[in-house]
């Protein structure tokens, strides 16, 4: 056996392992809690890019991956340049002369020839960072869709699958001592049947580095993770943990301070660098949509200090009621994608996200469903600040490969990262483990495991999923066995659009719901092209959508356990499946707001309904 044979075998084993785990070749470090709130060097801005549909920068002409070869060299990540005029080596790429894309931002919306592109694009960014002694450096990407291979100064950091969760690597030992560095990313948004989500979705498969990129600097021993929340259903006890990272993390003092609440507690870490706590608190002003109170929370250990703004509230169900801070609440919601309809493309940071949530507030919402995948951490923090409750979801959507263990591992990893990112946000009240998945035994096993995983990671929030229903004429039954595992009964129903004829027929539907739990309608709706008018029976008209909302709200009011809804959807969004040349033009038009920012008639129907619900509930 030659050395190279051994190496190739090892590589094959590693690749197999990565296929089985579905996600990573090299382990990424535990996600830093509140990574954007650390001392950071932003790498946002223009990145050079190379479109590489044949993956020429990744495989040699025998389709062997360069980065798995003995030298590990040969790929675009080398960022090679001719060494001199006398030795003009053949190099068929040059990042520094290539065009640029804005990061964060999907590629599809930045260059018309990339609108439908699915495949590989390479990104490169140079930066100056001279590493200081006794510091650690973490390279952090908010999200890259879908498979990302990441290299620093020509060395591979790792591979990550999943388009909506953060990616992080400890790069302390890999930074150049000269201070001149470059990072190269191979982003590949090719769809796969065993991926999460799978090949078929009703949203655009936006590719690229879609969220913020930065390098976070911490002391050598640092606060890696923490949870500071109220104990389950107990407004008088703060409970959680602090986890230190780095050498020397055992037996360290950690101080938790919430000055405004008169709280200062010093803890000591155990052998793993972890300190858990349960401390009584008095007179905390609880967070609610009406008064989204956030406290300045400080955690310190040695030289590391992390500041956060955290709200405290309880959420629970009692029979068919949802209790927020012990009081019944009606969830006046709307569904939304992580997309700015005005670009149109993935939301590119705080301004875009604030615009979406401001629209939701104008509609009278106290709740949003962040469909169908984890949204930006900035969005979760804005929801905290603006007083919007949140349903947060993983892209277990339609027909996942239920029986593939790697697919499950991938879904569970995305759920874990979502909960890690959102666990300190008062706004998040529901973890959703999926959307419209067809009942079967393997699917029940898959999703029940996700429910258990969510509860094991966070027992303070509700767990749900958007279910499907059964129909027989006007009789609608909700009895999906997964419902037994969930805290809420949530389902999508499309009376008046996909089924049930015209809007005027909607009120004839009657629901038989098996579970005695709060009912949250996770979707209903219909398309309307803004500015297209007709009567209430004219499909695609604003009047049709308006009548659909009027009758839906009448019908849904008849469900005794109804405690909220998130109609589909706040704004029109790009969807490749939507082909009508006049009315859709590549957009799902179920938005209450059009792709040019106009409010359709149905917006005002829902706004009025929510005004009345607020009068009923918010004064209680
Ligand atoms: C659904 C899906 C959502 C679609 C919507 C529609 O049930 O959950 O992703 O976009 O219907 O418009 O068909």
Domains 224-312 and 316-617 share a fold: no
From the CB of 339, is ligand 1 less than 6 Å away? no
pLDDT at res. 27 = 45
Query: Cα of 180 to ligand 1 centre, how many Å?
Result: 47
Question: In angstroms, what is the span from residue 586 Cα to ligand 1's centroid?
Answer: 14
Q: Which numbered atom of ligand 1 lies nearest the CA of 397?
A: 8
Place of tokens 């405290």: 312
Tokens 């209430």 locate to 536
For residue 338 and ligand 1, the question of a CB distance below 6 A is answered with: no
Cis peptide, bond prior to residue 194, ω within 30 of zero: no
Q: Which homologous superfamily does the CATH classification assign to the domain defined by 31-219?
A: Galactose-binding domain-like (2.60.120.260)
By CB atoms closer than 10 A (0-12, 13-18, 19+), residue 512 is: exposed
Distance between first and last Cα of the chain:
77
In the prediction, which pLDDT does 30 show?
81
Using DSSP's 3-state secondary structure scheme, residue 238 falls into strand
Domains of the chain, residue spans? 31-219, 224-312, 316-617
* Contact between residue 32 and residue 138 where contact means Cβ atoms under 8 Å apart: yes
Q: What is the pLDDT of residue 501?
A: 85
CATH numeric code, 224-312: 2.60.40.10
Q: How far apart are CA 29 and CA 23, in angstroms?
A: 14
Superfamily of chain region 316-617: Glycosidases (3.20.20.80)
**What's the Cα-to-Cα distance from 509 to each of 88, 94, 468, 470, 569, rounded to whole Å?**
75, 62, 15, 12, 22
The per-residue pLDDT for 83 is: 87
Token reading at 555: 């019908």
Query: 202 C-alpha vs ligand 1 centroid, how far in Å?
Result: 6
Q: What is the per-residue pLDDT for 121?
A: 99
Tokens of 190: 């090719």
pLDDT at 619: 67
Residue 436 in contact with ligand 1 by CB distance below 6 A:
yes
C-beta of 522 in contact with ligand 1 (< 6 A): no
Q: Whose CA is nearest to atom 3 of ligand 1?
A: 202
Element spanning 128, H or E: strand 120-128
Q: Kindly report, residue by residue over 126-184, the tens digit of the pLDDT.
A: 999 999 999 999 999 999 999 999 999 999 999 999 999 999 999 999 999 999 999 99
Q: Are strands 519-523 and 489-492 parallel, antiparallel or unpaired?
A: parallel
CA atoms of 267 and 241, how far apart (whole Å):
10
545, 591 Cβ separation under 8 angstroms:
no
154 SS3 class? coil
DSSP, collapsed to helix, strand or coil, labels residue 534 as: coil
458 lines ligand 1 (CB under 6 A): no
H-assigned helices in 387-432: 405-422
Question: If you take atom 10 of ligand 1, which residue's CA is the nearest one?
Answer: 202
Pocket test for ligand 1, best of 202, 204, 591 (most atoms within 8 A of CB): 202
- Is the CB of 393 within 6 Å of ligand 1? no
Are β-strands 331-336 and 562-565 bridged in parallel, bridged antiparallel, or unpaired? parallel
Residue 134 DSSP code: T
Q: What is the DSSP letter of 77?
A: G
C-alpha closest to that of 592 among 532, 536, 546: 546
pTM as predicted? 0.95
> Which residues does the chain have with pLDDT short of 70?
1-29, 619-620
The model's pLDDT over 443-483, given as tens digits with 9 standing for 90+, comes to: 999 999 999 999 999 999 999 999 999 999 999 999 999 99
pLDDT of residue 519: 98
Q: Verify whether ligand 1 is closer than 6 Å to residue 588 (CB atom).
A: yes
Contacts with 590 (C-beta within 8 Å, 6 or more apart), sequence order? 525, 526, 527, 528, 545, 568, 569, 572
Q: Which residues contact 336 (CB under 8 A, 6 or more apart)?
A: 356, 360, 368, 369, 370, 371, 569, 570, 571
Residue 590 near ligand 1, beta carbon < 6 Å: yes
């Amino acid at each position: 056996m030659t050395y190279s044979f051994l190496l190739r075998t090892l590589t094959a084993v590693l690749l197999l392992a990565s296929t089985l785990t579905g996600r990573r070749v090299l382990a990424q470090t535990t996600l830093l809690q509140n990574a954007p709130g650390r001392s950071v060097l932003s790498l946002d801005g223009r990145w050079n890019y190379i479109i590489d549909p044949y993956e020429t920068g990744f495989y040699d002409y025998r389709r062997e991956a360069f980065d798995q070869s003995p030298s590990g060299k040969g790929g675009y990540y080398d960022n090679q340049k001719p060494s001199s005029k006398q030795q003009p080596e053949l190099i068929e790429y040059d990042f520094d002369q290539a065009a640029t894309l804005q990061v964060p931002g999907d590629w599809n919306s930045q260059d018309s020839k990339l609108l439908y592109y699915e495949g590989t694009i390479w990104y490169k960014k140079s930066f100056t960072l001279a590493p200081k002694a006794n510091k650690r450096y973490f390279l952090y990407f908010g999200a890259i869709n879908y498979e990302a291979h990441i290299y620093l100064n020509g060395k591979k950091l790792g591979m990550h699958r999943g388009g909506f969760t953060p990616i992080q690597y400890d790069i302390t030992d890999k930074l150049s001592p000269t201070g001149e560095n470059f990072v190269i990313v191979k982003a590949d948004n090719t769809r796969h049947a065993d991926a999460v989500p799978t090949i078929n979705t009703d949203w655009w498969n936006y590719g690229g580095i879609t969220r913020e990129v930065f390098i976070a600097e911490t002391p050598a021993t640092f606060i890696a993770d923490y949870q500071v929340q109220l104990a389950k259903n107990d407004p008088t006890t703060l409970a959680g943990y602090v986890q230190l990272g780095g050498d020397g993390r055992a037996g360290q003092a950690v101080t938790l301070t919430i000055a405004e609440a008169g709280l200062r507690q010093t803890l000591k870490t155990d052998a793993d660098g972890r300190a858990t706590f349960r401390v009584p608190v008095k007179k905390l002003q609880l967070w609610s949509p009406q008064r989204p109170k956030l406290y300045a929370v400080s955690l310190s250990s040695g030289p590391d200090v992390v500041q956060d703004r955290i709200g405290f509230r309880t959420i629970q169900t009692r029979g068919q009621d949802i209790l927020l801070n012990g009081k019944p609440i009606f969830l006046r919601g709307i569904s939304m994608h992580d997309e700015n309809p005005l670009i149109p493309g993935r939301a590119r940071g705080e301004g875009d996200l604030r615009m979406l949530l401001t629209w939701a507030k104008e509609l009278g919402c106290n709740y949003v469903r962040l469909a169908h995948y984890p949204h930006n951490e900035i969005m979760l923090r804005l929801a905290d600040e603006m007083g919007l409750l949140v349903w947060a979801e993983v892209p277990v959507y339609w027909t996942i490969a239920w029986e593939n263990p790697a697919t499950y591992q991938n879904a569970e990893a995305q759920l874990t990262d979502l909960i890690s990112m959102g666990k300190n946000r008062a706004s998040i009240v529901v973890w959703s483990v999926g959307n419209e998945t067809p009942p079967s035994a393997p699917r029940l096993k898959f999703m029940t495991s996700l429910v258990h995983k969510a509860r094991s990671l966070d027992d303070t929030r509700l767990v749900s999923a958007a279910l499907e229903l059964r129909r027989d004429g006007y009789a609608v039954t909700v009895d999906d066995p997964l419902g037994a595992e969930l805290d809420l009964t949530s389902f999508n129903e499309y009376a008046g659009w996909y089924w049930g004829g015209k809007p005027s027929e909607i009120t004839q539907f009657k629901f038989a719901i098996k579970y005695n739990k709060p009912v949250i309608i996770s979707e209903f709706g219909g398309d309307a092209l803004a500015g297209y008018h007709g009567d209430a029976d004219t499909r695609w008209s604003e009047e049709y959508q308006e009548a659909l909302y009027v009758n839906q709200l009448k019908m849904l009011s008849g469900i005794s356990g109804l405690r909220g809804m998130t109609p589909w959807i706040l704004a029109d969004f790009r969807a490749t499946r939507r082909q009508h040349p006049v009315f859709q033009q590549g957009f799902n038009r179920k938005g209450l707001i059009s792709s040019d920012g106009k409010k359709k008639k149905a917006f005002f129907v829902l706004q009025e309904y929510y005004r009345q619900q607020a009068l009923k509930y918010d004064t209680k």
